[in-house]
Chains A and B, each alone.
Chain A
């Protein structure tokens, strides 16, 4: 019988225990993958940020607007290749739980600065032409069953009242991490309907610069408005997105800590099981030594069993991970709205989980294997435990 055959047989000795251990490890793998995917979704905005885009906002507070007149002034700054402006449109569709991102944009410049939103030419033209039109991401359209031509109503909170929009296009994401749950409407549509105090204001201005010139251009823009009524803070898009994540830093850290603890649990469960198995079979292991197996064979047997069970657990966990993750993500979304980035299981997280399991299998069986290799045959055979 080959070594692998021996390992397989010994793992099947106590089928129930092996099954329970595999289940425990699979569960821990799924939990670990969920937590890591969760964190990745948080950081999706950061990972996805373009290196050549800057965000200009009011220095005072995230909630303060900039005057629209700034747009032309910024356009004149050297190094600014392309710019667009937008406002966060806080609104409710149907009910608060179906939250998604709404932006009032200037369509022509917006899609030039954000080439990752892919839109059909026909839909693009229709949107540009209809001031009460809207473009939605494909995931959003799928979620609510929207099609081009549908009319929807949003209840505005910052800009009060009911806003009727016609869906003129559905955009696709160029990259895997592109947010496909946004709704874009015309900034002009909003500006024309709000009262005096809210007119001619934008939330942020987004600038595209030549590669490598970002820091200089940012400094120039901020200097330009330094002593004016609305001082600006200009930073890279990545920094801007990071500042939002840092708000939830505590949650992200807690989740990271928990994912480490989950790994620890994998080790604990595995270690306990292997140790138990090895202890039970002391007399058999001693018998094997007596007939000529060397200590390293015993070590190989025990470690092999540990790695096998770990691999089984990892396999089952990976197989079930994707559907379970989708299910949980959908549940989260329907309860709280779409505030996370795309929830995609990354190959890296999966590889990490498998690696941890295999290494864990080795580590967990280390002590029992070492003990087995040091068996004094005579004493061990005598033990009746």
Chain B
């Protein structure tokens, strides 16, 4: 109990200090900007070339500081890119006009169970769109997790595989989730043919066009590899729902029904209809997009938490490092500061000059960090989604927002590190400074 109180106290202290520091920095930034404005108005700023030359003269220390800052920027940028990638993958999964129907109370398809009667009733609802053949666009789907072995791993090796989602689709399933691209062809109903998502290729035994995957005591021929535009379906195996129901001994219970709505706004109407109908009141409906977003919530939160923690720690460390460097710079250039002041530059000009220098350092580090981070876009991050229990692959996505946020972060770190040393530089009296401090 004491431990808990102590922990809370320390946490609040740290948190408070952090918040206080950020608020203080924001206020300081405004103040410095105001000073800079007056300096600019009177055109007596210290020439930028002084800063550039100073950084060049003390190359090694500058380089070390920039490397440290760039490392932090890299971590920050990569975390943002991963969080963005997770959101992109799961937000892009599903069609805005599709809705998913599960058993009431189950949070994921894995734990939901529906019956053929319910499918018939749902397909007959007026809100469900019909296809070109006049049939309702509704697909009963069964979702199962298999343990797929990695390419090259022996069947009994531990850790030599991962959970993969297998989805059995009804005849209209492909129409409801059309892939952006399909290499090969679709599976035929009534056969052991399957189509796999592009992220699975090469990761698991038999996972390639023309290959054979083995699960549920059967061999399944991979006749197609689909590109589902970076969505969750890129990590799934698709086959015929009847075959899957039999292979996994699930008959008659399947997992979910996907329907195409005539109108997106029909969802609340349908939910009300379900609740009012005794045959349907065990169902609940959600837009397909929202369903997939919710599936990633825990993982996204977790990655964001971990990433933020790491970024904050690194940022504070980088600011401390930058501060140490800038203090040293100020002490080393004491005579120069004295000279500048003696020449007539005002205190605020000196302050602004040093702040600008450290912000430039920060921005330089930011550019380098971003440059390296952009290579992350070539990589993929594969992990298990805690909620669906299946393996899913995310990409690192660099958007203009990520670039802007990262550069702002880098500039802020430079500012934070250089502020106090700049204040010290500005406050030095001319005699002391020219004398050597």
Interface of A is mostly: helix
A4 at interface by CB-CB < 8 Å: no
A149 at interface by CB-CB < 8 Å: no
B50 at interface by CB-CB < 8 Å: no
The answer to whether residues A258 and B317 also contact, given A61-B248, A330-B4 and a CB cut-off of 8 A, is no
Q: How many A-B residue pairs have CB under 8 A?
A: 176
A216 at interface by CB-CB < 8 Å: no
Q: In the bound complex, do residue A269 and residue B317 qualify as a contact, i.e. CB atoms below 8 Å apart? A: yes
A31 at interface by CB-CB < 8 Å: yes
Q: In the bound complex, do residue B389 and residue A63 qualify as a contact, i.e. CB atoms below 8 Å apart? A: yes
Docked pose: A331 CA to B146 CA in angstroms: 33
Docked pose: A326 CA to B14 CA in angstroms: 13
B282 to chain A, nearest CB (A): 8
Q: In the bound complex, do residue A229 and residue B249 qualify as a contact, i.e. CB atoms below 8 Å apart? A: yes
Q: In the bound complex, do residue A324 and residue B381 qualify as a contact, i.e. CB atoms below 8 Å apart? A: no
Docked pose: A30 CA to B113 CA in angstroms: 47
Hey, which chain A residues are within 8 Å of B310, CB to CB? Answer: 31, 258
B327 at interface by CB-CB < 8 Å: yes
Among A20-28, A105-113, A119-127, the stretch in contact with B: A20-28
Hey, which chain A residues are within 8 Å of B332, CB to CB? Answer: 280, 385
Among A70-78, A150-158, A172-180, A299-307, the stretch in contact with B: A150-158
Count how many chain B residues have C-beta atoms less than 8 Å from C-beta atoms of the other chain. Answer: 68
B296 at interface by CB-CB < 8 Å: no
B375 at interface by CB-CB < 8 Å: no
B163 at interface by CB-CB < 8 Å: yes
Among A130-138, A244-252, A347-355, the stretch in contact with B: A244-252
27 contacts between A and B (CB under 8 A): A20-B323, A24-B320, A24-B324, A27-B316, A27-B317, A28-B313, A28-B317, A60-B146, A61-B163, A62-B147, A63-B145, A157-B107, A160-B103, A230-B249, A242-B159, A243-B159, A246-B158, A247-B163, A248-B384, A258-B310, A268-B64, A271-B64, A272-B324, A326-B6, A331-B11, A336-B302, A336-B305
Interface on A for B, CB 8 Å cutoff?
16-17, 20-21, 23-24, 27-28, 30-31, 34, 60-64, 90, 92, 96, 155-158, 160-161, 197, 229-231, 235, 239, 242-243, 246-251, 255, 258, 261-262, 265, 268-269, 271-273, 275-276, 280, 320, 322-328, 330-332, 335-336, 339, 385
Interface on B for A, CB 8 Å cutoff?
3-4, 6-11, 14, 61, 64-65, 67-68, 71, 75, 103-108, 110-111, 113, 144-147, 158-159, 162-163, 215-217, 248-249, 253, 282, 298, 301-303, 305-306, 309-310, 313-314, 316-317, 320-321, 323-325, 327-328, 331-332, 381-384, 386, 389, 391
